Amino acid sequence: MISLILWSAAACDGHGRNSAPVYSGSVELTEHSLGFAASGRIENLLVEEGDRVSQGQRLALLDHFNQAVRDAERAQHLLDSGGFSRQEYEHLRQVVDDMQLIAPVDGVILNKIRENGEVTAAGAPVLVIGDTNRVWVKIYVPEHTVTRLRIGQPARVRVDGLERDLPARISSIAAQAEFTPRNVQTPEERTMQMFGVKVQLDDPSGVRPGIFADVEILTDERSGH
């Protein structure tokens, strides 16, 4: 996702002090592409795009999943009575695991690539889930500013639809400079070297990916330290 990139020069507040510059971007999150470990026909997609899911939640099944479960349960009984090997039983349990998709994180379904009844290959993407525990805003700051930033530095994020500021912290700073996308910069600003900075939200509750956000990076003085 390409963030909208805007930056403003420091402005004076009503007391004549310089306020921190505000940078604009869009909310992003870590994405996981999920696919079955086995090939087969998709029998049951249990989620829709936009659904919130919990880590460990079952998301989709291949056909013959129920039969695979019955085979594994029967093998369990035979194993207990000595009529089945541990290796054969573990194989059947693995077949069951390979025929279902489980959410690896708490998140939101961003994209449903396949539909019920479609055949999918092993490893082919079926769903894309966004990790709602790792949400950030990607911004770009000029070279003369990035030298004053540090990992863990506090920030405030404002998003459309929320009346409160969201606490956040810088989680990464690009080691190399990038050019700013030209569609949001003046010709003079396009010649500046800009560094990508990720600002991660402490509590992303109520924030959805893709919405625009304004970020104010706080100095020690403005954060109360």
Distances (CA, A) of 211 to 73, 109, 156, 191: 47, 16, 16, 27
Instruction: Decide if pLDDT at 64 tops 50.
Output: yes
Helix axes 86-98, 65-80, angle to 10 degrees: 160
What is the DSSP-derived secondary structure letter of residue 68?
H
Top pLDDT among 92 and 79 is at 92
CA–CA distance, 143 with 113 (Å, rounded to integer): 40
> At residue 135, what is the residue type?
V
pTM: 0.71
Report whether 10 contacts 21 (CB < 8 A): yes
Q: Cα–Cα distance between 35 and 53 in angstroms, integer? A: 16
Task: Output the CA torsion sign for 107, 109, 110, 114.
Answer: positive
Gap between the Cα atoms of 193 and 124, Å rounded = 38
Partners of 155 in the beta sheet?
168, 217
H or E stretch including 201? strand 193-201
| Percentage with pLDDT > 90 across the chain | 63
Identify the band that residue 33 occupies on the pLDDT scale cut at 50, 70 and 90.
very high
Q: Is 150 exposed, middle or buried (0-12, 13-18, 19+ CB in 10 A)?
A: exposed
Domains of the chain with bracketed CATH: 6-30+131-217 (2.40.30.170), 32-129 (2.40.50.100)
pLDDT one-digit tens code per residue, 154-210: 999 999 888 889 999 999 999 988 766 554 445 665 567 889 999 999 988 878 888
